[in-house]
Structures are given as structure tokens and as C-alpha cells.
Chain A
Amino acid sequence: MTSATSDLFEVEGRSARAGRWLAASRRVGTGLGVGMATLYLSLIVLIPLGAVVLRANEHGLAGFWRAITTPETAAALTLTVAASLIVVAVDVVMGTLIAWVLVRDRFPGQRIVDTLIDLPFALPTIVAGLVLLTLYGPGSPVGIDLAYQQAGVVVALLFVTLPFVVRTVQPVLLELDREMEQAAASLGAGPVTIFRRIVLPNLLPAVAAGAALSFARSISEFGSTVLISGNLPFKTQVAAVHIFGRIESDDIQGAAAESTVLLVVALLALVGLDLVQRWAARRG
């Protein structure tokens, strides 16, 4: 009896130990995953970003403030943010439209167009800038000259950011249950109402995600804008090109300070659009 009980205990003890071991190894597994993700993110993103911010402040807060409040810097930052806002607005409308056409309509060459959407990502942006300059510059074969004007900057940014909204909206649109729209139609809703009440709320999180990516990319874009802008201070010089000039002039602290402003602006935009996504997701 005693021995039997002890055997029983023994068995129970063993299985309990095994269970604890399993749970522990699961915890270790999770911990390992989180640890690796954190380490990787730190090495690749957080530490470099931290270094930029640190460098920006190496002459103290006063030095930081002085660097970001020069008239050239203010002009470059204003132009960059304003152009990016215009670009995001156009991307949101046109990107959603393109995604809609690609998912809901059938037309010849659709697959080709679908493949072409990503090309702006593949092209080195300096080449994109050169192509745009040839097409829409002083020697334009189509008679449109946007070079060395702010409009040229916007067009360059539109080119490089095109895929973002299309590619975030497209999969959501594909997954969207058409029965909802059919049900709405059978209840007498017109196409506008269906789009506004059914489709748009479902797409909004994806649109917001695409807009955030577009904006972040726009404010940091260098290659495509460097040629077409003509780099005129106060007129067409965007922040990234102005920052480049500071590096060329050995003003690394100033370059880091101006970059920090871009980081903060991007962060605000990302947080803002994340809130929009959550809000839309709750409503949907």
C-alpha cells in the first residue's frame, strides 16, 4: 500500500514535472522569439535611430534648436511636409481607385497593369527622377514642363509612393464579402450609399496604413526629387536634399537635427493614422 501510494506519487510527480518542463520550454520559446525580435530591431532600427537623435543633440538643446530654425531648414521642412500631404491625399484617392479597378473590373491587360504597379519600388529613385526630368522637364516630348518647380517635386513623390495604398487596399478588397453589398442593394441602397456605408468603412484601416507608408516615404525621399527639384533653397529644396547639403558641408550635427524633426513628424503621422485604423476597425 505504502509502496503503491509512493509509486502513484512517483508517477504523478513525474508527469507534473514533465508538464512544468513543457510549460517552461514554451515560455523559453516565447522568450527566445521576443528576445530575438527585440535584439534584431535594436541592432537594425532602434540603435541607429537613437544615434541620430543623440548626434542631433551633441551641441545641446540650444544647438539642436539653432540647427532646425534656420530659414533654409524651415523652408525645406515646410515644403517637404506640405508636398507630402498633397501626395498622400492624391495617393489615397487614386490608390483606392486603382485597387478597385484591379479587383472589381475586368479589362484586357489587367494582369500586366497589376504587375506594373510595383515597378516604382524596383527602379532606383535617381533613375525615376531622371526619367521624370526627361519627360516633364524643359525638353519634354509631351510639352509639360514641371522641372525646377514645386509641382515637379510632387510628381516625383507621387511616382515613388504609388504602390503603397494600392497594395494595402487590394488584398482587403479581394477578401471583402460581396454578399454584404448585395444585401444592402436588395434593401434598396444605391451604389453611393453602399460604397460609403459598406465598402469604405471596411477599407479605411488599409487606406490609413497605406497613407502612413506613403507619408513616411515622401518626407524622406531623396533620389527622385534631387534632379527634378533643381535644389533651389527656399523654393524647391526638400528636407532630404538640404540634409544632404549639410553633410556635404560637414555639418553632421545639423543634418542629424533636421533628420530628427523628420523622424518626429513621421512618428506623429504614424501614430495618428494608427488611431484612425483602430477607430475604423472598432466601427467596422
Chain B
Amino acid sequence: VRALVLGLVAAAACGGVPGAMPGTPVKLTLVAYSTPREPFETIFTAFQKTPEGRDTTFSESYGASGDQSRAVEAGLPADVVAFALEPDMTRLVKDGLVARDWNADQYRGFVTDSVVVLAVRRGNPKRIRTWDDLLKPGVQVITPNPFTSGGARWNVLAAYAAMSAGGRDDAAGLAYLNRLFQHVSVQDTSARNSLLTFADGKGDVLISYENEAIFARHHGQSLDFVVPDGDILIENPVAVTTTTRDPEEARAFLDFLRTPASQRVLSDAGYRPVVSGVARGGEFEAPANLYTIEDLGGWTSANKRFFDPETGVLVDVERRLGVATRS
């Protein structure tokens, strides 16, 4: 069957037929981070009902965003890639596996947005409303370790951005991070593991992404969540690889992801849509101050400053904490 597919693709290519010839089966391989699996599968089915997508089948691989990106870098074949954060895409741009202009479209390469939220026990017994509330005596906070979880970097940057007014008051932001981590009782390796820890009864507040909190609710977890006043805009990138044999179909699928119908599916799963007019009134609460990664100098600079394994701000935060726990 594979040989047949290849043969047909080759025949189509030799014939110079533009676009997908009717009846020419195409298989797109999607390599993605794990969270959007369910909405993506719904969208695949919908895509296959369109004229552009009716001959397309999908092969999917899901995993931690950083691991997936490194796998593609190491040679895992992919036609379309979807990641939790931009640096995982940038890694592939450096290797020429994703075109330099991947973010040149009107959505700047993103397919979904989200924000960082403070998930709390049902009824919010500790009355958590703001970032400052996390520092109240006796409040235990769960957030993944930003060195083991790329996604958890959003959490740290959201707290920093909120408390430093988007980086303008750097000292206040850093002071807050130091105090915050004194309240962090578990630093799991990933967002999903943190959710497990919280579900198991540990901690009062879970710093999470809005879509994860909504996902947890859909799956029967009894939790509430608060969108803090100051927050950061989480943006999830998607792109077609340069190694794809079916660029047109892959491109068509990417466009399909930005149709109102697909964006509706993603919104139902808890993501904020990138296409305006999709979100229903009151569906997603807008934070009073929503900062972006650009306010903090962009990912390259923020990663270097905060998360460099030797000189990053968070190394310093963890070390002070380590000294404190030991003495």
C-alpha cells in the first residue's frame, strides 16, 4: 500500500497535476505536543469531509513538546508540527526543517492561545485571587520544574511579568519569584504530572494553563480556577516542515486549523482561539494586564536570562531555596 501511495504521488508529481488529484491518497504525519490530541482528532475527521482533505489520512505522534521537537530535529519524519511554545519551533528553524517565514502569516504562526491560571480546590477555600495570595502563610503551590518542563516556563514568566509590570520593575519581579518558590512544595517534571499531583490531594494552588484546567474539569477533576490580573499570553505554534512531500495538503490542513469551525473545536477543548469572532461572550476572561513574551524581550532572551542551566535567574532561585531547605 505504501509503495502504491508513493507510486501514485510520484505519478501525480510527474504528470504535473496541480494540487491533489482526485483520488490520490495522501498521508500527513503530525508530530505534536500531547495536550491538543482530542480536538486535533476531531479536526482531522472534519478535514477529511472537505474537498481539500477528503483523500488525506493522518498519522499522529504525541509527546512532550520539547521531546517531540528534538525527535523531529533528530530525523523523525513530519509534515506538520505543533508545539507548546515557540522555542521548540525555533529549534527546527535553525536546522532548516521549518522555513524561516513560518510565522509570517496573519496568525504569526500560532494556532491557539491560552493564559496562565491559578487552579484551586473547589470553592476556593484559601480565597486565592491574585499572585500575592500565593505568598500567604501556609499556602502550598504546585508548579512544574521549569528546567524539566518547557511549558512550565510560561508559569514562571507569567508570575514575573505580572509582578514586574511587564519587566519594567525587574527587582519586584525577581523578589516575587524568590518568595513564590518558597511556597512550591512539588516541582513535577511536566504540566500533566503536576495535575496528577494536585488531583492526588497535594497543594492548595496549581499554577497551570487555562486549557489544562479546563481539560481537567472535562475529565471530572473538581477544581476551580482564577485568571490573575496580570498574566502572559501563551501562544502555541504550528508549521509545515520543509521536508514534507505533500506541502500543499499540509498547507491546506494548516489553513483548515484556522477556520472558525476548527477554532470552535479547539475553544471547546479549552484553548483561546486565534481567529476573532470565534470566542463566545464571557467564554474566556480577559486579564486586566496581559503581557506577551515580546514584553520580556522575546523567547531567546527570556530563555537565556531565566532558564540558562548555569546562569539563569531560576538557577539562582532554586539554589537559594536549596540552601534554605538544607540548613
Contact = CB atoms under 8 A, between A and B. Distances in A.
Interface stretch (B284-292, B293-301, B318-326): B318-326
A163 interface: no
A175 interface: no
Interface in B213-245: none
B319 A138 contact: no
Contacts of A246: 147, 309
Contacts of A147: 200, 202
Interface stretch (B125-133, B185-193, B261-269): B185-193
Contacts of B323: 234
Given A231-B145, A241-B148, 15 more contacts: A70-B310, A72-B319, A134-B200, A137-B200, A147-B202, A148-B185, A148-B186, A231-B189, A235-B322, A244-B148, A245-B189, A249-B307, A250-B91, A251-B309, A254-B309
A133 B200 contact: yes
B46 interface: no
B66 interface: yes
B319 A235 contact: no
A226 interface: yes
A138 B187 CA distance: 15
B148 A231 contact: yes
Interface of B: 64, 66-67, 70, 91, 145, 147-150, 185-189, 193, 196-197, 200-202, 307, 309-310, 315, 318-319, 321-323, 325-326
Contact of B193 (A226, A232, A248): A226
B186 A230 contact: yes
A233 B167 CA distance: 26
A133 B201 CA distance: 11
28 contacts: A72-B319, A130-B196, A138-B202, A139-B200, A147-B200, A148-B202, A227-B188, A230-B197, A231-B148, A231-B186, A232-B186, A233-B187, A233-B321, A233-B322, A234-B321, A234-B322, A234-B323, A234-B325, A235-B322, A237-B145, A244-B148, A245-B148, A247-B70, A248-B64, A248-B66, A248-B148, A248-B149, A249-B147
Contacts of A249: 147, 307, 309
A234 B148 contact: no
Given A227-B188, A233-B187, A244-B189, A138 B147 contact: no
Nearest to A254: B309
Interface string A226-264: 110011111101000100111111110010000000000
A233 B319 CA distance: 8
Contacts of A251: 309
A19 interface: no
A147 B203 CA distance: 12
Q: Which of B67, B91, B148 has the most CB of A within 10 A?
A: B148
A71 interface: yes
